Chains A and B, each alone.
Chain A
């Protein structure tokens, strides 16, 4: 039995410690906002925050999480998250929307560390998040938009 702290709540998961955290979150906690895209850390759809740091849940073993605080899209809160969500909505970034949980988790991570990211900073922080619908132009604009809100 593995203890997990997710979005401020404690859960117990009865699963193989080798199981990627992604599947524990999705299949055992039924928090399905975190998405499966590739399973090999190439697309970022599974991005969560581990103690505030954007992390690929598909490459994090359940047994390695320990007492780290896990935040998923469902529990993402605070001024940066609000600014990002508001920008995403006002620019209508989403298309299919499937990758956007991961995009938002990465964007919030970026803006938490760097309140005024340049285009190059955005490339660096977001290049690991694939959007097959190609919404990158609006993601970039929304991150700049959120940065202005937070300034």
Chain B
């Protein structure tokens, strides 16, 4: 019988202290896809952050081998977004390599070499930053490696380096007729000096960037050989599952593990901060052992709210003045004097990420006294610090092998390194003699928190006699992702978490007067960034409400938006392209069938979508989506198309049905039967058009998500005249035509 008391959440204080140490020592700002400068004006300073001030580091990122392979060291997690292919393309371009010789390898955890330039001193992936922050860094690395290969060939051939050309992995000297492949010069090139400022190509000279290149991971992901973290099999490893409290904030009161210990295959039962871990010789035995545990929980500090109470509480908060996130002029006065006033409210539920590969990690003590973690690691630096704190060692003694991740959508990146902390705690509690393979079941995943925060928006706007907006008042209620985490001091300003208001308070629409207010809800449900973060709800509120204003003004929704976006040329161009390709018409094509449009900027990328929807009583079918995207230079156009297609498939189930609901503090949805992802028969045809650009590339992992819901909701209005505002769409209220 174990009797230890344990708090389910928040994360163990040891891990928090460790993280604070880690980040303080590193001493820089951590920005996770968060636009820090909410300037108070929608017409904020344009331009992406500058990631160009980096040295050429060919040795960190490029390995040319004697067998002629070129391996690009990938500092990011590839959770499906295709960044391994994208980052390899950037190197191959400047190296003038042949695509067939390119390989990738995930970088070790080493923030000194592999930090995300968008996150300051932290190695990690998120905010659609992989290509954006690596663009100049990897071009310099590729160009420097090329120069070193050329120098090696020049020395061997005794010709001037300037006379050597490189094409598709072959070095040539025309005058002497000499030629050789990269592999032949790999060893000699490694002894050459690293050029400090290698010349980068002009975009007109790109041969690979902008073309369709096969993904480098298609082979291993179609024959079962790709190794995900759940596939790690270390010698002598044990598998663990954890029994966690049914309510967030509950404390473990008592443990009776007698029956569990008696089961064949169960090796140990240990109490850790988040619950009780059953450690067994295989996954099934661990799961059976967990079922046999008899646990009681102390709910004194537990969250007991039900979802209807939460929504009512949010609405009540919105009645009171909130924190000001952005303002200009006298919005209330401008609305008071308007010819027409519109008002709308939007409610959004908690959402689980539900990546196909549930959370898991393997950890072991190595012979040298260090520790090895195998995971789909998304925040390597934080995970190192948290694990080191729990294991009583230093960060440099914690190695991480990053593996392919079966999705994430943000879930693998937490400030508490939650599941890594669990694995480390189990290893410690079991004495560290055998590797621990921690597995979350799907039920653990869906009920385990770290949800996209629930949100509530209330908007009022005034129109003048011509239909122009006079003022805009907007209140957002939601639980901050950042407040209460170690990141708070770095990211939250005057109580306003940018991730709550991004996409609204910084709207590119020209609003003569506005006021955006925030209320930070405080319920005890852990929340987290979910693919597109705040934009996952702000775009729905903004783009549906602007659509309503267009109709109230008697204007075409595309033309109305273009009128408001004269200072936002890239978003305008994406919108115009999507409308053109979709054969935009403002009116219903047939009874019950309509087109809807939405346009939104997120993570520095501009996306517009037109949805073609059939609607009848209680039912919606999305027939077709036409998207236009501006991501700057399109490094891999086909990967970009795939990300937008996938964003539609990912987001559609959140539009149609997904929600995490609470009853007396307990999550009601446990698995894919009640939290059902989009299925094949529901998938619309998706057509993606890319706006040509020579601007620095931005991300596309997330920006396809925000526009889907409003495009569909606006199409339903076009088809039926009915406004469905909240998500998931209340299809039960749909009367049909």
Contact = CB atoms under 8 A, between A and B. Distances in A.
Residue of A16, A97, A129 with most chain B CB atoms under a 10 A cut-off: A97
Nearest to B264: A16
Contacts of A35: 228, 230, 356-357, 406
Given A37-B442, A98-B406, A137 B284 contact: no
Q: Is the interface of B mostly helix, strand, loop or mixed?
A: loop
Interface in A13-49: 15-16, 19-20, 23, 26-28, 30-40, 42-43, 45
Given A92-B642, A96-B404, A129-B680, A27 B214 contact: no
Contact of A39 (B215, B282, B285, B441): B441
B221 A123 contact: no
Contact of B225 (A30, A33, A123): A33
B138 interface: no
Contact of A98 (B239, B356, B441, B672): B356
Contacts of B158: none
A135 interface: yes
A52 interface: no
Given A132-B407, A132-B650, A26 B356 contact: no
A95 B81 contact: yes
A79 interface: no
B80 A42 contact: no
Contacts of B288: 16
Contacts of B230: 32, 35-36
A59 to B, nearest CB: 13
Contacts of A134: 645-650, 652, 678, 683
B283 A99 contact: no
A95 B680 CA distance: 16
Contacts of B643: 95
Interface in A42-87: 42-43, 45, 72-74, 76, 85
B345 interface: no
Interface in B659-707: 671-673, 676-681, 683, 685-686
B473 to A, nearest CB: 36
Contacts of A135: 642, 645-646, 649
A100 B230 CA distance: 15
B226 interface: yes
Contact of A27 (B80, B282, B357, B671): B282
A31 B677 CA distance: 27
Interface string A120-137: 001100110111111111
B645 A37 contact: no
A130 B354 CA distance: 11
A43 to B, nearest CB: 5
B80 A96 contact: yes
B284 A19 contact: yes
Contacts of A74: 223-225
Contacts of B81: 95
A119 B645 CA distance: 18
A104 interface: yes
B231 interface: yes
A16 B685 CA distance: 46
A138 interface: yes
A2 B81 CA distance: 41
Nearest to B638: A92
A130 B230 CA distance: 18
B110 interface: no
A48 to B, nearest CB: 11
B58 interface: no
A94 interface: yes
Contacts of B264: 16
B673 A136 contact: no
Given A74-B225, A93-B222, A127-B679, 11 more contacts: A26-B283, A31-B224, A35-B356, A38-B672, A40-B673, A85-B222, A129-B680, A132-B354, A132-B356, A134-B648, A138-B645
Interface of B: 79-82, 214-215, 217-228, 230-231, 233, 239, 264-265, 282-285, 288, 354-358, 404-407, 409, 441-442, 638-639, 642-643, 645-650, 652, 671-673, 676-681, 683, 685-686
11 contacts: A27-B239, A36-B230, A40-B442, A96-B407, A99-B406, A101-B224, A127-B681, A132-B355, A134-B648, A137-B645, A140-B683
Interface of A: 15-16, 19-20, 23, 26-28, 30-40, 42-43, 45, 72-74, 76, 85, 88-90, 92-101, 104, 122-123, 126-127, 129-140
